């Protein structure tokens, strides 16, 4: 049975177990190398060696199942050749053979140019022509020798890199600590600056509030005084208007003295305020006040003595029908303004200088 199976796995051209078998359209199977040999050089078209059916090399399909069977039979029969071994080495086959995917042959050779293991069929192909080959075991031993020589250098480099890695980790930790310390220091120093600015701010606010309070107190006193003056003069004007509308002459004359006293007091107040503005006017107004005072004393004396001078006084009023009191100007300033120092307080601070100073602060460069 095994012999019959082996016969079915023979290539009709080379009469050997299939090597990389490919199936044609007609269903016949041949080794790939045999089919290529059946085609004329430089051509891609040929005919089946058995039925003469035409075929194209690019259209060939690999028969993997047939190739696997041929490889198994070859192993069972022991047809796989032993690798070339150096003198004195064991001739036993390796526990596991590696086979070429293209030709299903053991990878027994190593191409030094391509640096890859190949089979004996690959060795005879044009792409490996002129290359140098070594048995895989010899090539492995030579490669291991090179790797051993490189291993010491690699271990030395690894040690140096490991030391550098350790040093780098220390530097990273040092950087973190340095950065953290600087950030904390900057926060503390700016907190001090914040406290200084806050203290300055509160001091300036308190100073402004004090100046404003003093100014406001003067303004409110002036306002109270002006309100009292408005009320007094309004009352005097009302009495004057009422007297002018009176129809009872006797009653009018009885109240005239007191009314004129109120009117004179109103103008005297204006005179006194005007005196504070001008010394010359103050002297003139003081003389007028003295004359008025002497007139009042004369009137009082005439009344007390019961003499006829009182009638004469009335005649004075009658003769002086066009009497007009001295009009005084209210050109003096009785309104308390905003303190000039308070208005110019903001300019005296000159915050722009502070801003420029802070903006101009530069870090010292560390060489």
- pLDDT tens digits for 273-289? 555 555 545 555 555 55
Share of the chain above pLDDT 90, in %: 24
Task: Please state, in angstroms and rounded to a whole number, the distance separating the CA atoms of residues 129 and 125.
Answer: 7
Report d(CA 161, CA 167) in Å as an integer. Answer: 10
* CA-wise closest residue to 32 among 72, 9, 63, 65: 63
pLDDT recorded at residue 271: 59
Contact between 345 and 205 under an 8 Å Cβ cutoff? The reply is no
**In the block, which residue shows the tokens 């040929």?**
46
pLDDT band, residue 301 (cuts 50/70/90):
very low
Is 80 exceeded by the pLDDT of residue 307? no
User: Helix, strand, coil shares of the chain as percentages rounded to 5?
Assistant: 65, 5, 30
Higher pLDDT, 301 or 42: 42
pLDDT(213) > 90: yes
Q: Where in the chain is the domain with CATH 3.30.40.10?
A: 1-80
181 pLDDT exceeds 90? Answer: yes
In this structure, the number of other CB atoms found within 10 A of the CB of residue 277 comes to: 12
**Residues composing the chain:** 367
Does position 9 have pLDDT exceeding 80, yes or no?
A: yes
pLDDT at 188: 92
Question: What fold does the segment set 1-80 form as a domain?
Answer: Herpes Virus-1 (3.30.40)
Sheet of strand 133-135: strand arrangement: 116-118, 109-111, 133-135
The answer to whether 75 and 95 are in contact (CB under 8 A) is: no
What is residue 163's predicted lDDT score, i.e. its pLDDT?
94
- What pLDDT is recorded for position 331? 44
CA angle 146/151/155 to nearest 5° reads 165
Given this model, what pLDDT does residue 330 score? Answer: 47
Structure-model confidence comparison of residues 230 and 330, the more confident one: 230
Q: What is the mean pLDDT of residues 206-219?
A: 92
Report the number of secondary-structure helices (H) and strands (E) in the chain: 11, 8
Q: Above 50 in pLDDT, residue 219? A: yes
**Is residue 296 over pLDDT 60?**
no
Cα dihedral: 86, 87, 92, 98 (round 10): 10
Please compute, for residue 305, the number of CA atoms within 13 A of its CA located in the half-sphere on the CB side: 11
pLDDT, mean over the chain:
78
Question: pLDDT band for position 82 (50/70/90)?
Answer: very low
- Predicted local distance difference test score (pLDDT) of residue 312: 41
Asked whether the beta carbons of 121 and 20 are under 8 A apart, the reply is yes
């Amino acid at each position: 049975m095994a012999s019959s199976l082996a016969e079915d796995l023979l290539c009709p051209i080379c009469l050997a177990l299939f090597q990389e078998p490919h199936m044609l359209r007609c269903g016949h199977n041949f080794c790939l190398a045999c089919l290529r040999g059946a085609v004329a050089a430089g051509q891609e078209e040929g005919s089946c060696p058995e039925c003469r059916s035409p075929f194209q090399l690019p259209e060939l399909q690999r028969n993997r199942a047939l190739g696997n069977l041929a490889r198994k039979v070859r192993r069972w029969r022991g047809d796989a050749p032993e690798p070339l071994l150096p003198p004195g080495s064991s001739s036993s086959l390796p526990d596991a053979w590696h086979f070429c995917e293209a030709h299903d042959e053991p990878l027994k050779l190593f191409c030094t140019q391509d640096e890859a293991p190949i089979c004996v069929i690959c060795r005879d192909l044009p792409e490996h022509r002129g290359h140098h080959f070594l048995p895989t075991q010899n090539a492995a031993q030579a490669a291991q020798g090179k790797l051993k020589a490189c291993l010491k250098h690699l271990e030395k480099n690894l040690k140096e890199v490991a030391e550098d890695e350790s040093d780098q980790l220390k530097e990273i930790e040092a950087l973190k600590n340095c950065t953290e310390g600087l950030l904390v220091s900057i926060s503390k120093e700016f907190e001090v600056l914040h406290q200084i600015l806050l203290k300055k701010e509160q001091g300036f606010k308190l100073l402004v509030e004090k100046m404003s309070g003093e100014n406001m107190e003067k303004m409110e006193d002036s306002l109270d005084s002006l309100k009292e003056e408005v009320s007094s003069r309004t009352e005097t004007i009302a009495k004057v208007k009422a007297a002018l509308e009176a129809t009872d002459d006797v009653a009018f004359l009885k109240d005239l003295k007191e009314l004129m006293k109120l009117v004179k007091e109103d103008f005297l107040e204006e005179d006194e305020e005007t005196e504070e503005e001008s010394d010359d006017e103050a002297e003139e107004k003081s003389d007028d006040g003295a004359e008025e005072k002497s007139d009042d004393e004369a009137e009082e004396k005439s009344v007390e003595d019961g003499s006829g001078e009182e009638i004469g006084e009335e005649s004075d009023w009658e003769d002086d029908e066009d009497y007009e009191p001295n009009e005084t100007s209210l050109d003096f300033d009785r309104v308390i303004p905003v303190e000039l120092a308070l208005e110019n307080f903001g300019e005296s601070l000159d915050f722009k200088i502070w801003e420029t100073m802070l903006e101009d602060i530069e870090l010292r460069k560390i060489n």
